[in-house]
Structure 1
Amino acid sequence: MFAFLLNGQSVTVRDDGSLLDYLRDVAGLTAAKNGCGEGACGACMVLVDGKATRACLLTLAKAAGKKIVTVEGLSGREKEVYAWAFAEAGAVQCGFCTPGMVISAKGLLDRNPDPSPAEVKKALHGNVCRCTGYVKIERAVLMAARALRENQEIPVDGKYRLGDRMPRIDAREKVLGTAEYVDDMRVDGMLFAAVLRSPSARAYIRRIDVAAARALPGVEAVITANDIPGRRHQGHIIPDWPAFIAEGEETRYIGDALAAVAAVSKAVAKAAVQLIKVEYEERKPVTTPREALAEGAPSIHPRGNLLAKTVLKRGNAAAAIAKAKYVVTQRYMTPPTEHAFLEPESALAVPEADGTLTVYTSGQNVYDDHHGIVSLLGVEDSRVRIISRMVGGGFGGKEDLSVQHHAALLAWHAGKPVKLTLSRQESIQVHPKRHAMEMEFTLACDENGLFTAMKADILADTGAYASLGGPVLQRACTHAAGPYQIENVDITGLGLYTNNPPAGAFRGFGVTQSCFAMETNINILAGKVGLSPWKIRFRNAIEPGKVLPNGQVADAGTALKETLLAVRDVFASNPAAGIACAMKNSGLGVGVPDTGRAKIQVQNGKAVILTGAACMGQGLATVMIQILCETAGLDCQDVDVHVPDTAITPNAGTSTASRQTLFTGEAVRQAALKLKADLKENGLGELDGREYYGEYTGVTDPMGSDKPNPVSHVAYGYATHVVILDEAGKVARVVAAHDVGKAINPTSLEGQIEGGVVMGLGYALTEDFPLRDGVPMVKFGTLGLFRAGGVPPIEVVIVEKNPADLAYGAKGVGEITAIPIAPAVAGAYLRRDGRIRTKLPLETTAYRK
């Protein structure tokens, strides 16, 4: 028996176990989140006798006799202060880490009511945030400290329109832990799932014996490939990813599923999985694209090992390179990297009385999930409904099916609700990563430093399955020459299957890799010409009316030069500064159908926005409210947003390609214009029951178009980043200037940029994803993620220059924020020691020897 105080109440438990499991599964206190289960992320922080402690590492026996406080146990005054401070500062994005941050903040402020910024950083060392970049979290803690210390009155929400710093509408619930993520959900009769995965990256499966698992008391369903009633193979574009590997087939990576179990408890489900016997023959995996290309290499898929080839040619690059004054050729290597979103994948499938199935998910598009599950079950669309709960980060890593389909299949067979949540290590093994790439880039210029040609060959490791490897390769190629005026380009990209974990969408979508190569080549070329890295970029920068390397004519909203001018002085005054530019598309582009959709329904005196667009931390719901209020003249208190739901909300496409603010934002604007017309003659309350629909479709030209100037994408954002090193060789400051078109919500925009900068610093300096025979050799705690104490000051410069009416001129910013940082860091080290670094993470730095 173990007794302790929990939020002021006496608690006695009989059996030992994890404190976190007790809080969540027994006490029903879900503010403490299970982000990693290994004490590395801090999402499960609680106070133990006043000290911030990771609940996942504390047993009930060790908690005996102690005072435990969770976010639910804060005083009313504390809840109001923390909710206000974190919302006002913009410290909340996906929100999964936020209650843990609040606990660490309280632990600090209880013993030190007036901390310094350095003390705040130190107190947050045990907490990881993948979204915000920590800047606004630290500000929120200092704001909360002052409010508590001086007994400040908490301001009442004001009125907000376009361009105002409106706090996120979901911030309070996320701060206080009442926002519901899928793994927080409990329903009557719910079963728990576990999945048996491949014994190695490449194994021939002879036999799968599930008899012992089925016989285990408490097990209610065991399924394999034989139990799939519909289409077994799934995939966004190419259906090459089987929900289960069948007997007589080879596994293609360590995350392949062989069988799944649903049982009355997590423990029974895990025990049942261990009872499944697999007879297999281990085979040598193919672990590099060059191995996959080699003659006689085993075919990972029936169609061979080449997933995709992208070619982009304009002019005559070979001739221009041959006669150029200066030429630089370098080979570059970038690794796979892990998204490390704080919320591991989770899904809950619930059979309904009418024979339909409702699946609660945390993915990046409920309609993608719906399409996959319907085809897997072999049923009509109306038989499956997908509803999104809060999404604890994504960055592209939650676009593919990971748990949704297995939970649905188990629930379909068991006839009971089934929840499947991945452990952190399963998540690391299962979901797609950023593509590793090997690249050779050549850049040529004349005697004045004007670029005359560039040539690139890109080899991408797409891993075991296609996912979005084809489009990622396209973006790496279409953006490879950067935001410059270059008439002659010759770019070829190959994407190869291997037995590594799949690679797919990840913030930057292939451009993080090719930008690192191109921008580093520019720095080397600048030295040959005798120009500063800033001047050679400004001299070649794209301007409105000029032609991009992919042939598209830059529009009037193009502001790359303005971002360069914004950082000119800071770069010129710091000899240890590096600089890099980037461009990134908004929308899918290249001829792919792409539509944002939204409805506005007037319900009980409120205008409710309905859209299937996923809000995964980027603040989309708040932005849509601001667009509606600006267009229709309403106050934000008169507006609400419905969660994505395939039964109610229209398909607005995936939250990817920095597209939702532009595409679905414009759809909301179109619907709001119709509402505005009716409001001229009626009050909002008089329009109850009315519905207004809006949509926007971006029309672009396909790859390989024979047009002289094809429209590759409907919009591009541009950015220039400057990284300054200190005397010890560590990053002392980052200045990030972004052409955003129009800042709908500056606070959210800054938060996106700060978060992307920190993610980019990790990519440049500390993050790696080592593999051995296709198996990840990392845990969450060894990924190399930046923590608060390692983040330098970040200055965000917002450039607004876009006369377009489309979404009030807004451009997507989510992806571009992470792109220019790695080459800017490499450029800073090049200026510091003269060494050209061509591999990420960068070697021989203060971060990595």
Structure 2
Amino acid sequence: MGTTGTPTNITQGSKTKGGIGESTLRPDGTLKVTGEFAYSSDMWHEDMLWGQILRSTVAHAEIVSIDTSEALAQSGVYAVLTYDDLPTAVKNYGLEIQDTPVLAHGKVRHHGEPVAIVAADHPETARRAAAKIKVEYRELPVITDEASATAPDAILIHEGRDDHHIGHVPHPNIVHRQPIIRGNADEAAKKADFVVKGEYTFGMQDQAFLGPESGLAVPSEDGGVELYVATQWLHSDLKQIAPVLGLPEDKVRMTLSGVGGAFGGREDLSMQIHACLLALRTGKPVKIVYNRFESFFGHVHRHPAKLYYEHGATKDGKLTHMKCKIVLDGGAYASASPAVVGNASSLAVGPYVIEDVDIEAIALYSNNPPCGAMRGFGAVQACFAYEAQMDKLADKVDMDRVAFRQLNAMEQGTLLPTGQPVDSPAPVAELLRRIKAMPMPPERQWESSEGSDVRQLPGGLSNTTHGEGVVRGVGYAVGIKNVGFSEGFDDYSTARVRMEVIGGEPVATVHTAMAEVGQGGVTVHAQIARTELGVAQVTIHPADTQVGSAGSTSASRQTYVTGGAVKNSCEAVREQVLEIGRRKFGTYHPAWATAELLLEGGKVVTDGGEVLADLADVLEGEAVDVELEWRHRPTVAFDLVTGQGNGHVQYSFAAHRAVVEVDTELGLVKVIELACAQDVGKALNPLSVIGQIQGGTTQGLGVAVMEEIIVDPKTAKVRNPSFTDYLIPTILDTPTIPVDVLELADDHAPYGLRGIGEAPTLSSTPAVLAAIRNATGLELNRTPVRPEHLTGTGPA
């Protein structure tokens, strides 16, 4: 993915080979790049049936009738189920608000909503049968924006809402509202020498993960079901699935199967309940695999947003106040919208010191596709707007844009607009200094002694230009992202660690329910075990629900929280191992009682390096097995009137510098470089750290210049549900991404680490937009930027 600069301040490896601080390789890496990795869609079972989902062809309509007779009559069909066939009174599910029906009932609320499911002996048979189901719709007006959602006579997306947010929202079509009020923004505005305002539009982005939604449900002899599925949170799925099936949780046994990626798109259920229902109805294993067209309808997306900002500054560059309103479109169902609102509002000011703020964030119900979690989770949309505002203000004050940000940068001890102090390093000014000091890429790279290299030009191999009309631009941005679940959520993880002798060698087994979705958690867990237990051989048990919850692989939390649980359990195992050693060998050497004992390289050693015993001898005939939970510091919900409260656990920071070449005549953009500086607290696996930063940076690039799900404003139908029309960056679009890693430990976190994966997704997008503005002089207040925005043939 481009090339990296020389990372700085990267942690050196631990004393134990393959431990914390080393760039150990991921066990799934080679398999994925060679095409040998077993994804959940590759699973197979004898006598297996195939499931298929019939989805609505309209976005908002009453269901007049459903006729399944032709589908049931087709040879090879074993079952056809609609809402009326669901086995229990629990027919809805949801992450926080259970407003999503397993199958549509009464009406459909978005294009592509599941209406019926089919099981057949061949996938084509299932598809043909689903196509024979006749659904009569009576179409209703569609709600597609804030004006239509909150009008006095607006049709309600969900009639009779009774969730816990309804009491504090001004309209039933608003999912959640969170104000953040600190100081007096109106009075502070009077002190401003300069005021800038902006209205920003952020497009709907898809997670575009490897491997579409898929899974295999196998009915078991005890009346339960075994579910093998690609997901982000096994135990959350379990709590939503079991009530719909009418089964106790211990009879829904879930095992993680191969996941290609997630980025938030697998936090919500997709095919899980449908596969289980069909398996229990037919008594046969049922596999469901979405094609890519279905996948665009089968998971939530990043919230599109409208953002209205006002900032003020004095003539010497100090920020005086900020007002903003953030409108997030949550689509037809709530998903994670309330939490996204909390993030967007509480981080709306960015990594800056502003004493007086007036913030409001809301999420709408609409007939657009449901939106929920995606990497960056509300902070991405806000960062796009506040960073554009920083550039505007810097220009008004006539200051260098980086210097302006540094002057107003937060630091450790800064009070956020929520009143929460930042109690760990916040090196915002330093990250900006580092990113500005990095060497610039050469000018006119397309020119060489051998001739023109059009691959370096906007338009690339399409050979649209040889440098005529091409202008370079440079832009900067920095962002702040919270780590972990917030606002009073009981965020914990569980880990079971076992240590025993196998084949004459001490072996540690780590068992968690953590979903490995490509973030490298299984690698880090093995590194932690090697470091804490001093063993070379570590086995990672497959993730399932036979161990306590590990929470979601999201919010940059897994290394912090589940890594903390693994460390906690390893420490307990180590103490028990040492106790066994004291019992067996303590009388032979006084150091067993008097020295600080460590486990290193399969041996028990003193802190002075003296070897007391082999671990294999200590554990011979015995095993130690510990399962413990680990929680981070408690948080509280933000006050619903003022937004005050210690709502977050930790923060991560990243800064980017984008260098672009723009063909101003054709509106084509080539991003040459996206340099990043990020504080990671402690680099547990330096290679993985670089990969996470480069991956997040590239997703931010995608939403800056190409990625957007297009929804027809008149019909609320998705117009581009395929990779033919929904464009994502390829390796040819990915620029050089030099990375400068800073390590300033957070004393509250295991090993001092910081969540890494989301922060670079924030600042990469506004940096690219800032560079394009720098090249063109255009305002460009929306993402993604398209050629027509740069050539004057479309709205900018």
**Correspondence for 2:533:** 632
Match of 1:797 in 2: 740
Q: Deviations over 1:405-440 (max 9, x none)?
A: 100111011111001111110111221111011110
Shift, 1:741, TM fit = 0.6
The count of aligned residue pairs is 692
CA distance in 2, matches of 1:706, 1:679: 53
Find 2:318's aligned residue among 441, 447, 450.
450
| Partner AA of 1:240 in structure 2 | D
The one-letter code of the counterpart of 2:28 is D
Quote the residue 1:750 is aligned against. Answer: 690
What residue is the counterpart of 1:236 in the other structure?
Answer: 95
Change (3 A) 1:362 1:688: farther
The structural deviation recorded for 1:624 is 1.4
1:808 corresponds to 2:751 = yes
SS at match of 2:696: helix
Q: 1:776 aligns with which of 691, 708, 718?
A: 718
Structure having the higher helix fraction is: 1
Is 1:569 the counterpart of 2:437? The answer is: yes
Contact 1:662 / 1:811 at 8 angstroms: preserved in 2? yes
The residue that corresponds to 2:611 in the other structure is: none
Q: Which residue of structure 1 lines up, in the alignment, with residue 646 of structure 2?
A: 711
In 1: Cα distance, 2:332 partner to 2:277 partner: 23
2:264–2:372: 8 Å Cα contact kept in structure 1? yes
C-alpha distance in structure 2 between counterparts of 1:841 and 1:536, whole Å:
26
Correspondence for 1:89: none
| Secondary structure at the counterpart of residue 781 of structure 1 | coil
**8 A contact 1:480–1:515 mirrored in 2:** yes
Aligned to 2:59: 201
Q: 1:697 aligned to 2:631? A: yes
> Given the alignment, which residue of 491, 497, 518 partners 2:365?
497
Q: Once the two structures are superposed, what CA deviation does each residue of 1:31-78 show, in whole Å capped at 9, x if it has no partner?
A: xxxxxxxxxxxxxxxxxxxxxxxxxxxxxxxxxxxxxxxxxxxxxxxx
Measure, in 2, the Cα distance between the counterparts of 1:185 and 1:238.
32
Q: 1:709 to 1:510 in 2, by over 3 A?
A: closer
* Alpha-carbon distance between aligned partners in 2 of 1:537 and 1:668, rounded to the nearest angstrom: 39
Of residues 281-290 and 216-225 in structure 1, the stretch that sits farther from structure 2 once superposed is 281-290
Distance 1:448 1:655 in 2: 44
Alpha-carbon contact 2:473-2:771 (below 8 Å) kept: yes
Q: Deviation string for 1:346-392 (max 9, x for gaps)? A: 01100112222000110101111111110111111111101101111
Query: For 1:618 and 1:376, how far apart are their aligned partners in 2?
Result: 31
Cα root mean square deviation, aligned: 2.2
Q: Please list the CA deviations of residues 621-658 of structure 1 after superposition, one character each: whole Å capped at 9, or x if unmatched.
A: 101111222222222xx111112211x22201111111
* Aligned mate of 2:116, from 256, 259, 270: 259
Aligned to 2:140: 283
What amino acid maps onto 2:540 in structure 1?
V
d(CA) in 1 for partners of 2:686, 2:648: 24
* C-alpha separation in 1, matches of 2:47 and 2:643: 62
1:750, 1:724 → 2: CA distance?
Answer: 20
The residue that corresponds to 2:524 in the other structure is 623
Alignment partner of 1:645 out of 535, 540, 544: 544
Distance 1:504 1:307 in 2: 12
Using the size of structure 2 for normalisation, the TM-score is 0.84
For the residue of structure 2 that corresponds to 1:780, the secondary structure is: coil
Query: Quick one: structure 1 residues 700 and 298, their matched pair in 2 at CA, closer, same or farther if it must change by over 3 Å?
Result: same
The farther-off stretch of 475-484 and 598-607 is 598-607
Counterparts in 2 of 1:405 and 1:479: CA distance versus 1, 3 Å? same
CA distance in 2, matches of 1:481, 1:666: 30
Shift, 1:572, TM fit: 9.0
State yes or no: 1:468 paired with 2:336. yes
Task: Give structure 2 stretches of 5+ with no counterpart.
Answer: 7-15, 162-171, 444-471, 582-614, 664-668
After superposition, residues 213-224 of structure 1 pair within 5 angstroms as 213-224=71-82
Does residue 374 (structure 1) correspond to residue 242 (structure 2)? The answer is yes
Query: Contact 1:602–1:687 (CA<8 Å) still a contact in 2?
Result: no
Give secondary structure in 2 for the equivalent of 1:313. Answer: strand
Which of the residues 37, 51, 59 maps onto 1:179? Answer: 37
Query: How far apart are residue 135 of structure 1 and its match?
Result: 5.4
The aligned counterpart of 2:608 is none
Contact 2:418 2:643 in 1 (8 A): no
Does residue 761 of structure 1 match 2:704? no
- Structure 1 SS opposite 2:51: strand
Structure 1 range deviating more: 328-337 or 288-297: 288-297
CA-to-aligned-CA distance 1:657-690 (integer Å, 9 cap, x gap): 1111111111111111112223435425437542
2: CA distance, partners of 1:422 / 1:490:
44
- 1:743 is displaced (CA, Å) by 0.7
In the TM superposition, what is the alpha-carbon distance from 1:835 to its structure 2 partner? 1.9
Question: Following TM superposition, by how much is the alpha carbon of 1:520 offset from its aligned partner in structure 2, in angstroms?
Answer: 0.3
Which gives a bigger RCO, structure 1 or 2 (Cα 8 Å, sep 6+)? 2
Q: What's the CA shift string for 1:572-599, capped at 9, x where partnerless?
A: 9998321001011111112111112211
Higher mean Cα deviation, 534-543 or 289-298? 289-298
* Residue in structure 1 matched with residue 459 of structure 2 by the alignment: none
**1-structure distance, mates of 2:480, 2:788:** 27
CA contact (8 A) 1:741 1:802 kept: yes
Indicate the residue corresponding to 1:332 in structure 2.
200
Moved more, 455-464 or 277-286: 277-286
2:511 equivalent among 575, 586, 610: 610
Paired AA for residue 352 in structure 2 = Y
SS in 1 for 2:126: helix
Name the SS for the 1:782 alignment partner: coil
- The SS at the match of 1:545 is coil
Tell me which of 21, 29, 32 is aligned to 1:163. Answer: 21
Deviation of residue 191 (structure 1)? 0.2
Post-superposition offset of 1:716: 0.5
8 Å contact from structure 2 (residues 181, 417) kept in 1:
no
SS in 2 for 1:776: coil
Letter in 1 for 2:77: V
For the residues of structure 2 that align with 1:633 and 1:444, how far apart are their CA atoms?
Answer: 56
For the residues of structure 2 that align with 1:827 and 1:644, how far apart are their CA atoms? Answer: 43
Aligned to 2:173: 305
Give the aligned residue type for 2:93. Answer: Q
Q: Show the 5 A alignment for 1:702-741.
A: 702-704=637-639, 710-726=645-661, 728=663, 730-741=670-681
Alpha carbons of 1:447 and 1:543: their partners in 2 closer, same or farther (altered >3 Å)? same
- Tell me which amino acid in the other structure corresponds to 2:19: R
Q: Comparing 565-574 with 257-266, which one deviates more in the overlay? A: 565-574
Give the corresponding residue for 1:54. Answer: none
Equivalent-residue separation in structure 2 for 1:824 and 1:776 (angstroms): 29
* Contact 1:484 1:549 survives alignment (8 Å): no
SS in 2 for 1:194: strand
**Structure 1: segments with no counterpart, 5+ residues:** 1-132, 140-157
The match for 1:414 among 274, 282, 289 is 282
SS at match of 2:301: coil
Letter of the 1:819 counterpart: L
Aligned-partner Cα distance in 1 for 2:623–2:193 = 69
1:273 correspondence with 2:159 = no
1:417-432 pair list within 5 angstroms? 417-432=285-300
State the Cα deviation string for residues 422-470 of structure 1 (Å, max 9, x = none): 1110111221111011110111112211112111101111001000011
CA distance in 2 between partners of 1:707 and 1:199 (Å):
43
Structure 2: which amino acid aligns with 1:802?
A: A
Partner of 1:587: 484
Contact 1:596/1:697 (<8 A) preserved:
yes
Question: CA offsets, 1:511-546, max 9 Å, x none?
Answer: 111110000000000001111110011111111122
Is 1:661 matched up with 2:559?
Answer: yes
Tell me how far apart the structure 1 counterparts of residues 410 and 67 of structure 2 sit (CA, whole Å): 62
* C-alpha distance in structure 1 between counterparts of 2:395 and 2:790, whole Å: 26
Contact 1:765 1:847 in 2 (8 A): no
Change (3 A) 1:705 1:283: closer
